[in-house]
Amino acid sequence: MSATVLILPGWQGSGPEHWQMRWADRHGYAVVEQNDWQRPRRGDWLARLDEVVIDTPGPLVLAAHSLGCIQVAAWAAVSQQTSRIRGALLVAPGDVEMPELKELLPGWQPIMRQPLPFKSTVVGSQNDPFCSVERAQGLAQDWGAQWVDLGLAGHINAESSLGDWPEGHALLQTLLKE
């Protein structure tokens, strides 16, 4: 049975030019919608992901961006549904422990750093304003994830001019085939 891809946007959601929304439009992937994109509450976001996982039949692959990556790690630490996940593509994790983000995103600290119970790939950038490359590599290591360095790609979002980001989609396809 082929896996269903769940798109997990970060704080403030992903606009129409973001690779996540382009993938959802082009490939029919399901976007996990949150009740409040502006003031994300960790408990609400984890409960919502659990609901979607429970309600979606078959195996799943997660494609998360920024706060969505932190959501996946936190969810994996508490959910009883993790066996349903075949893999996770975790792109540009947001460092919610940075002083600038800590104030804006209360309740998201600490970042859960236990090994993820499913195969995962973390993609980071050398010049991400929301997470240093060293922090992103450390998260990948703690999560037991493969590390992919995208070079100078900013926050790996719409402003990074990636378009449909076929290289990222190839990484997702690898997880889908496992």
pLDDT digit string (tens) for the chain, length 178 residues: 689 999 999 999 999 999 999 999 999 999 999 999 999 999 999 999 999 999 999 999 999 999 999 999 999 999 999 999 999 999 999 999 999 899 999 999 999 999 999 999 999 999 999 999 999 999 999 999 999 999 999 999 999 999 999 999 999 999 999 7
CB-based contacts of 80, cutoff 8 Å, min separation 6: none
pLDDT on residue 137: 98
In the numeric block, the tokens 């996540």 are attached to 20
pLDDT attached to residue 1 = 65
**What is the 3-state secondary structure of the chain?**
CCCEEEEECCCCCCCCCCHHHHHHHHHCCEECCCCCCCCCCHHHHHHHHHHHHHHCCCCEEEEEECHHHHHHHHHHHHCCCHHHEEEEEEECCCCCCCHHHHHHCCCCCCCCCCCCCCEEEEEECCCCCCCCHHHHHHHHHHHCCEEEECCCCCCCCHHHCCCCCHHHHHHHHHHHHC
Res 178: pLDDT: 78
Residue 15's pLDDT is what?
94
Residues 19, 106, 88: CA angle, nearest 5 degrees? 35
